[in-house]
Structures are given as C-alpha cells and as structure tokens.
Amino acid sequence: MSGGVTAPRGYRAAGVSAGIKANQGLDLALIVSETPATASGVFTLNKAQAASVLVSKEHLAKSGGTSRAIVVNSGCANACTGADGLQAARDMAAETAALLRCPVEQVLVASTGVIGVALPMDRVRAGLPVAVAALGADQGAAAARAIMTTDPFPKDAATSVAVGGRSFAIGGIAKGSGMIEPMMATMLAFVTTDAAVPKPLLDRALREAVDDTFNAITVDGDSSTNDCVFVLANGASGVTVDESSYGAFADGLRDVCRRLAIGIVRGGEGATKLVTVTVSGAASAADARTCAKAIANSLLVKTAIHGGDPNWGRLIAVAGRAGVAFDQSRATVTIGDIVLFSDGAPHDERAPKAAEYLKGTDLAVGVDLGVGHAASTVWTCDLSAEYVRINADYRT
C-alpha cells in the first residue's frame, strides 16, 4: 500500500517547518489518531536517555497505553539538557494536547538531532498550531520528511492484511542514518494500524517485530540517546485482533518494520551498498545474532566491501573472535553465492568472481560457524570516506 503512516483509517499527519533547523527545512511532525488508540513503545537501552524518551515512557505508564498523538521534532535531540530539557519535552506534549483537546498523557514525544542543544520552545510553540492546521490523511509523506536529519531520503511503508474476509492496514515512517545500532529500535519509527489490538498482544507483536528488524540493523555500531518505536492501534477498520488472528497481524507488522529498517541501512550516512549478513551453523540463535552483529560492525569488513575487496579472511577472523562457538575446520565463508572458504581451506581462485559481485549495491555475505543449526540475519552498509566527512562536521 501507499500512504505510509496515514494508510490506515482514522489517522492524519503533518510535517512543517518551525525554524528548528538552520536550513529552514521541515522539522516538526504530528501524527494524530481521530480516536484514542492503544499504544505501545520500545526505547533505547542507552543509559543516557533524551528528555523525550523519559516523558514518553511516563505518558505510556500514566495513560495505561492509550495515545491520541505523537509529536516529533528534528534538528535538536534535546538530550543531556538537564531539567530545562525535560521541561521542554513536557511543554511540547502539553501544547500539543491543548491544541488537540486531549489529555497530556495521551501525547507521545520524540526528538532527533544534535545532543546537548536546548530545544527552542518558542519556535515549537509557534509551529505547533501550523502543524495542527496542516493535518491531513494525505500528509504522511510530509511527516516522513519532517523527522529526517542526515537521512538522504524519507522512509515509509504500508501493507494491507486480510483476516476472515475483512482487512486492516498497517503503515509507518522512520528516520535514521547514523548513530545506528539500536539495541531495541532505530533512531525513530512510528507505526499505525486501524485494527483494534489489545494492549498485551500489541506489546508482544511490537517486541517480536523489533527484534527481527530494527534490532537487526547497524550502520556504525552506535546506539542513540533518543531511539524509540511507537505503534498506535485505533480500531477504525472494525477488525479486532485476537489470538486466532495474531499471526497475521504480527506478520504484517514485521513486514512494515523490516522495510523501514532496511531503508534506514540503505540510507546510512555515506553508504553506497546495502549488505545482508547471514550467520548460520551456530549453536544457538543468540550466538548467530552476536556473530552477525560483530561482522556487520567490523570496520575492516565494511571498508573491504566498500572497496570491492573479496577479503574473506576478515569475515572468518571476526567469526573467530566473536566469542561464540566456532569450528574453523567446518566453517564456510560466502560472498554472494561464491564459496571462498570451506572445511578449513581457502578457494582464492574464486576471488575475481567475488570481486565482480562486490561491484553491486545490494550484497550478501555469509558465515557458517560449523557447530549447529541456528541462524540470524543482520543488515548493514559499507563504510565510506563520506561517512567520516559527515560526522567530522556534524556539530560544527
């Protein structure tokens, strides 16, 4: 489906410029459910948590998991800004609630941008009425652009799910390009559905979807202070999810989250290649995920892929130091479908074919650890000089 976060019925969105960004780009987004929606969220595991994370956690607890709106600013993370920053996040929610005439605890808050900079609340206050006036069921794309920072393109996705002859929709938007290894989510992602989903099932589905998608991506191995994923379920379709239809809902949610997560990696800072890393033959799923993340975060692996160098030795070396069960005599390394190492022996005569494959932009590498049957897939990108340039001047 098209439409992103407003593809499900009963949602409106907006993206406007409030002057938070120096370039006067879109920097204030609203996502509003016409009726109170069941809400769930997951947040960064970073112990240095932004004011928006603290306030949104508090609001989810106070409301019992009921939300009407998500308000988001880009261009300022409002993280590590002390009591003033916490008050700014509370004020941002309160101003939104007043305009929408809903309880303040039914407003979730998210921020993204530079850490340690005060949020200009005068601009947020001036921008919020403009955003409310701009709300529309066709404005999901504007909201997707308004939450961007260094992202090269907006990310949105939506799908329709059929259950018992009826259908409901799931849609979402996300942002993230650098400081990405979420350990729970991505920098920011917001998902909506017009199904009615009881809170326990919504919480369960979100955790499961995040584990296989946003928790399975990395751009640079860094976890942000502001990461969060929210999902709202307002029931406007008339379809209620129960245990019998849970599988269909969970699959749809995972599909939307996966497309958003892969979009984040594809748009990683300085990225030129999307890389799918699969570790198989592991003793456990946890071992497979640990090794896949180690490979995906290896600077030597990422730079070799950027340069088109089929250096399989870097892959086997990471697998051997990942701290998981590993049998070199039974291990296999592949680039694409080309086996470059197996059963303890190299196949360097295949390197030219692998080098040709690495000229592509959508790539896959794999390692079989040779000790079991568990597997895990992680998505990452290459590491280029452009990544260094972007982050060398990010604040200055």
Residues that are catalytic: 186
Distance CA 85, CA 184 (A): 23
Angle at 58 between CA 193 and CA 40, to 5 degrees: 20
Query: Cα-flanking dihedrals φ and ψ of residue 250, to 5°?
Result: -60, -40
Are 316 and 341 in contact, with CB atoms under 8 Å apart? Answer: yes
CA 301 to chain centre: 23
3-state secondary structure of 158: strand
Distance CA 133, CA 192 (A): 21
Distance CA 301, CA 281 (A): 20
3-state percent helix, strand, coil for the chain, nearest multiple of 5: 40, 30, 35
Beta bridge partners, 279, equal 367, 376
Distance CA 396, CA 390 (A): 11
Torsion from C-alpha of 62, 65, 69, 71, nearest 10 degrees: 70
Tokens of 255: 């599909």
**Can you give 61-120 as a three-state secondary structure string?**
HHHCCEEEEEEEEECECCCCCHHHHHHHHHHHHHHHHHHHCCCHHHEEEEEECCCCCCCC
Tokens of 294: 């180690």
Distance CA 296, CA 366 (A): 11
**Region for 165 from its dihedrals, namely left if φ exceeds 0, alpha if ψ lies in -120 to 50, beta otherwise:** left
Q: Which of 16, 235, 260, 267 is nearest to 139 (CA)?
A: 16
**Can you give 307-348 as a three-state secondary structure string?**
HCCCCHHHHHHHHHHCCCCCCHHHCEEEECCEEEEECCEECH
CA 352 to chain centre: 35
